[in-house]
Chains A and B, each alone.
Chain A
């Protein structure tokens, strides 16, 4: 297995697979961030939106994102867009939900303090609401990333592409157990590195600076 790992990197198939997967997730994840934070803000801001599509959002979030693949293939064909669609559907809803709950749970005293100093309109959003909701948004970013990563792997497994998921699939086809396990290790490692080193740290720092415990 270790040999397969080293071999895979020497051979550059792993490197190529990794770079393709990471490139995909970067694009899909960034789009998810924009959509998720935007939607979360709107739903948190307008009660009507919350009442109408609030439960739809939490309902859809339960659906494993890979279930979107058939629909995505019908819409976009077997291509890059279909896989991006699956990533986005996996990630952006949880980001939206976390953003919305962050906004809903802002201590009202922050808003009152800002308003008494004459802050209003857009300023109230950019200078108070957004920063106050940031720890919760970071939680959503972390959650969203891990959903995005899972969705991507599932998507790559299920259809032809050159990502890491596809390497797993070829390993199976060649009956090459060491390669399968080696690829799994790489997938876990990438997941851990982003989750633990990037998002958990970010979340922890924000929470402690914002004076929130746990």
Chain B
């Protein structure tokens, strides 16, 4: 398949290494430590998931891997080289899809290719990827005419068209209904099989993380640290509702629960017990981005 094209020619050992990365923000009421000495080694072609309470710095970390932000301390390296600026070799897919409404679907997909090749070439590539996400018929539609799931698909096609070696996905399916999400899980997994890209996937949905990840990292509440790492040794493709996935999800959920409790305490600013308030939900249920 065409997707494999130049990936093979790229340097072997495209390791991604996050080395003691910390990030400070200056807010109105002083400095905020968002991330505290995060270290993660990611092998080429791995599918990595981050879960953690909201505000723990997952987006910030992803942005630093993308080169959109710089660490306050520590470095992120791709095959040994420090990441300082964004590159189309590491593309972020955002939750809001972030498509450009002034362009139609095919123009969105080819956006990153415009200065690199002529119209015919880039149209051809864009169509290939649009077909891959099953939106071939919609190439002339405008963004406001698409459903949420279709927008996610266009965003995926737009990123893939650049043939990046790392895909960074920041809660890309959080706004979608469960059925659409299931289908997109299958599709993204299939794409990953074919392209052998390294994927870093942020989610607050524990089952989604287990469904997709080779490894799942649980973050602590702010400041974000790695609380625990889980290796998911389940055969693929996995079923989100299968017993083994649910079992893993429960384990991870337990880790996460402590952190969310901490976070809630801070939020409501009084003695707050999750059990008393009966807010606990079964493992794997979408915790909602508000938590």
Contacts and interface: CB of A to CB of B under 8 A. Distances in A.
26 contacts: A109-B96, A110-B98, A110-B100, A112-B92, A112-B98, A113-B98, A113-B100, A116-B66, A116-B68, A116-B90, A116-B91, A116-B92, A117-B111, A117-B112, A117-B162, A118-B86, A118-B88, A118-B162, A123-B115, A131-B102, A209-B101, A209-B144, A210-B101, A210-B144, A211-B143, A211-B144
Of B86, B88, B142, the most chain A CB neighbours within 10 A belong to: B86
A113 B143 contact: no
Nearest to B99: A113
B138 interface: no
B87 interface: yes
B192 interface: no
B91 A115 contact: no
A208 B86 contact: no
Interface residues of B, number: 27
Nearest to A212: B101
Interface residues of A, number: 21
Nearest to A123: B115
B83 to A, nearest CB: 12
B96 A118 contact: no
A49 to B, nearest CB: 24
A116 B86 contact: yes
A209 B102 contact: yes
A134 interface: yes
Contacts of A114: 111
Contacts of A210: 101-102, 144
A113 B86 contact: no
Contact of B102 (A115, A116, A134): A134
B2 to A, nearest CB: 20
Interface of A: 109-110, 112-120, 123, 127-128, 131-132, 134, 208-211
Interface of B: 63, 66-68, 86-88, 90-92, 94, 96, 98, 100-102, 111-112, 114-115, 142-144, 158-159, 162, 168
Contacts of B92: 112-113, 116
B90 A211 contact: no
A112 B69 CA distance: 10
Contacts of B100: 110, 113, 128, 131-132
A110 B108 CA distance: 12
User: Does more than half of chain A's interface fall in helix, strand or loop, or is it mixed?
Assistant: helix
Given A115-B68, A115-B86, A209-B142, A109 B94 contact: yes
B98 A109 contact: yes
Contacts of A208: 144
A29 to B, nearest CB: 24
A118 B66 CA distance: 10
Of A114, A116, A127, A208, the most chain B CB neighbours within 10 A belong to: A116
A211 B68 contact: no
Given A109-B98, A116-B88, A132-B102, 20 more contacts: A110-B98, A112-B63, A112-B68, A112-B98, A113-B92, A113-B94, A115-B68, A116-B86, A116-B90, A116-B91, A116-B168, A117-B88, A117-B158, A118-B86, A118-B112, A118-B162, A119-B112, A209-B101, A209-B144, A210-B102
A119 B91 CA distance: 12
Of B66, B88, B102, B159, the most chain A CB neighbours within 10 A belong to: B102
B270 to A, nearest CB: 34
A30 B135 CA distance: 42
A116 B98 CA distance: 11
Nearest to B113: A117
A211 B97 CA distance: 14
A131 B108 CA distance: 13
A132 B100 CA distance: 8
Contacts of A118: 86-88, 112, 162
A128 B100 CA distance: 8
